[in-house]
């Protein structure tokens, strides 16, 4: 007698092999029997599926749910799209090692906004090591399974703070020791955010030294590239170099090419990966199936005295030419946290940001900000302020990718599916700069790219969501429907 039986389903087992009609029996949390054909099994709980697909739980290899799980323990947005295992700690950020001086920063900037003020008020950031953080998560109880990488930004920040210099031999050894401790505590490898502070301050050689530690544990190195547009070739080559000299498998995180002038170049990066594999570098990539990156609220670039006035009054302020001139000066002098430079020095990159949401002027959606400026026959800064005024400050932007590039990587054999998202237990309102990948990554793949377009077969897509990412991080007990899984 099985605990749970799934009768009369279409079994897609995660290996990529053709699906088949059958039933699955579960006993004590593991697959105990797979019956082919119409043979019904008996169990304490029986679900008659009438041909619905049965597949392994999805394994999200690029998650940020460690940042949200303490305030969103049910992980509903993940579970509702089929994700049962998440590997977090990506892009150089993890919840450990946690220096006491960083605890308040982490609580305020990375977690409080995700958890909500009420839940965040009850959180205590009183751990230091990864093992201690995982104990907090375990005691809380979670809706799905959570693993994590150790973030290089956290490691460097723990030892060197925000200092922009080469580490001493002693400091480098401390960083190596922190990575080793995290691996001992169960980390799946090392992640970097090569464009994010403070991790971006490290040289390639410094990262190689940390990758060599991970190599001793058969871990994975995953990298948010230094540049995802004009310098993407050099950025990919850095990852391959770290794989060669660090002697570790490497992963191109949420791989894509942003900004319209660079569209079409993703195929070249995949060719570079294929060539590197032929030379012995174990390189793969993950991808989410959307045409824009992390969403930003364009109004966040405004001075606080404008946004505090409220949507209607703030928009009215921007309609006045003299006030707009003052706002423009303040906006251009603001320092971008990622680059450490004023907005006036980063206008070129700002121009490449795509408009993904306007409350009123829908005709601008899909344009980049440079194209908006051309349409308005004005400079970029004025165009931004006018666009905000026309939409009661409700404009959202993101890096934008081409549909052709996305389809190219989705069907590439080295690519698996991920979300680059964090789990939430609630829907978010219009003002939230939230990406649909938090709720709909896997449904979009299955709906558009499998069912509607046929870009992938169901079996191929499920493999990219289950066994491929599971094996990539060394999880051998899940990702397939097989006896004992």
Is residue 77 assigned to a domain? yes
The confidence band for 104, taking pLDDT boundaries of 50, 70 and 90, is: low
195-244: pLDDT as tens digits: 888 899 999 999 999 999 999 999 999 999 998 888 999 999 999 999 99
Task: Supply 284's token pair.
Answer: 């793969």
Residues 157 and 112 in one domain: yes
Q: Is residue 459 part of a domain?
A: no
Q: Where residue 122 sits, what CATH number does that domain have?
A: 3.20.20.140
**Is residue 465 assigned to a domain?**
no
Task: List, for residues 39-96, the tens digit of each pLDDT value.
Answer: 788 899 999 999 899 999 999 999 999 988 988 899 999 999 999 999 999 999 999 9
Q: What is the mean pLDDT of residues 155-159?
A: 94
Number of domains in the chain: 3
- Structure confidence at residue 41 (pLDDT): 87
Q: What is the DSSP letter of 406?
A: H
Percent residues over pLDDT 90 in the chain: 69
Measured distance CA(332)–CA(336) in Å, rounded? 10
Last residue of a domain, one of 22, 42, 58: 58
Q: Does 352 reside within a domain? A: yes
Structure tokens at 143: 């809706």
Average pLDDT value for residue range 369-397: 91
| pLDDT score of 429 | 64
Residues 314 and 421 in one domain: no
Range of the domain at 51: 2-58
- Cα–Cα nearest to 298, from 432, 415, 395, 206: 395
Q: Same domain, yes or no, for 210 and 286? A: yes
pLDDT band at 435 (very low <50, low <70, confident <90, very high): confident
Last residue of a domain, one of 373, 398, 423: 398
258 and 284 inside one domain: yes
Peptide bond into 52 cis (omega under 30): no
- Find how far residue 200's CA is from the centre of its chain: 18
Average pLDDT, the chain: 91
Does 336 fall in a domain?
yes
Q: What is the pLDDT of residues 107-130, one digit of tens each?
A: 665 555 555 555 555 567 789 999
**Is residue 462 situated within a structural domain?**
no
Residues 133 and 277 in one domain: yes
232 vs 28, 252, 255, CA distance in Å? 47, 11, 10
Is the predicted pLDDT of residue 105 greater than 70, yes or no?
Answer: no
The strand order across the sheet containing 58-60 reads 58-60, 83-88, 145-148
Tell me the CA end-to-end span of the chain in Å, nearest whole number. 18
CA distances from 484 to 30, 284, 361, 455, 462 (A): 6, 27, 55, 32, 19
Containing H/E element for 140?
Answer: helix 130-140
CATH of the domain at 45: 2.30.40.10
Q: Please tell me whether residues 278 and 382 are part of one structural domain.
A: no
Same domain, 370 and 444: no
pLDDT tens digit sequence for 331-379: 888 877 666 677 777 777 788 888 988 999 999 998 989 999 999 999 8
H-helix or E-strand spanning residue 347: helix 347-351
52 and 81 inside one domain: no
- The pLDDT, as a whole number, for residue 222 is 98
- In a domain? residue 483: no
Q: Does residue 53 share a domain with residue 71?
A: no
Query: Do 323 and 212 share a structural domain?
Result: no
pLDDT value, residue 97: 95
* Residue 473 belongs to some domain of the structure: no
- pLDDT of 431 > 70? The answer is no
| Average pLDDT of span 263-278 | 95
Whether residues 386 and 412 share a domain: the answer is: no
Q: Are residues 188 and 239 in the same domain?
A: yes
């Amino acid at each position: 007698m099985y605990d749970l039986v799934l009768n009369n389903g279409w079994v897609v087992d995660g290996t990529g092999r053709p699906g088949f009609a059958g039933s699955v029996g579960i006993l004590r949390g593991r697959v105990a029997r797979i019956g082919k054909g119409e043979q019904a099994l008996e169990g304490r709980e029986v679900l008659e599926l009438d041909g619905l697909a049965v597949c392994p739980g999805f394994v999200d290899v690029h998650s940020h749910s460690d940042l949200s799980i303490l305030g969103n323990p049910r992980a509903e947005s993940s579970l509702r799209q089929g994700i049962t295992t998440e590997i977090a700690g990506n892009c150089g950020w993890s919840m450990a090692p946690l220096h006491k001086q960083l605890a308040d920063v982490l609580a305020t900037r990375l977690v409080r906004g995700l958890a909500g003020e009420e839940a965040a008020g009850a959180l205590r950031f009183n751990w230091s090591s990864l093992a201690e953080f995982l104990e907090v998560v375990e005691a809380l109880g979670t809706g799905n399974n959570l693993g994590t990488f150790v973030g290089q930004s956290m490691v460097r920040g723990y030892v060197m703070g925000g200092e922009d210099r080469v580490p001493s031999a002693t400091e480098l050894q401390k960083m190596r020791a922190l990575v080793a401790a995290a691996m001992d505590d169960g980390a799946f490898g090392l992640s970097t955010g090569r464009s994010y502070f403070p991790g971006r301050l490290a040289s390639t050689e410094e990262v190689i030294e940390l990758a060599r530690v991970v190599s001793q544990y058969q871990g994975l190195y995953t990298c948010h590239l230094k540049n995802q547009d004009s310098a993407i070739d050099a950025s990919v080559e850095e990852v391959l170099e770290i794989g060669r000299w660090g002697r570790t498998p490497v992963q191109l995180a949420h791989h894509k090419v942003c900004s319209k002038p660079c569209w079409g170049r993703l195929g070249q990066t995949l060719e570079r990966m294929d060539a590197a594999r032929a030379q012995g570098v174990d390189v793969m990539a993950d991808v989410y199936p959307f045409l824009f990156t992390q969403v930003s609220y364009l109004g966040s670039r405004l001075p606080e005295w404008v946004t505090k006035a409220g949507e209607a009054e703030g928009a009215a302020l921007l309609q006045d030419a003299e006030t707009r001139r003052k706002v423009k000066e303040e906006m251009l002098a603001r320092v971008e946290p990622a680059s450490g430079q004023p907005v006036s020095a980063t206008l070129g990159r700002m121009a490449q940001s795509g408009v993904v949401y306007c409350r009123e002027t829908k005709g601008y959606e899909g344009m980049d900000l440079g194209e908006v400026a051309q349409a308005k026959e004005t400079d970029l800064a004025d165009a931004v302020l006018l666009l905000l005024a026309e939409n009661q400050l409700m404009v959202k932007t993101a890096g934008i990718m081409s549909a052709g590039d996305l389809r190219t990587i989705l069907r590439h054999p080295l690519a698996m599916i991920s979300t680059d998202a964090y789990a939430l237990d609630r829907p978010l309102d219009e003002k939230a700069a939230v990406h649909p990948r938090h709720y709909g990554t896997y449904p979009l793949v299955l709906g558009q790219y499998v069912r509607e377009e046929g870009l992938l077969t169901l079996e191929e897509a499920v493999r990219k969501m289950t066994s491929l990412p599971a094996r990539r991080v060394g999880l051998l007990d899940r990702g397939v429907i097989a006896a004992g899984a």
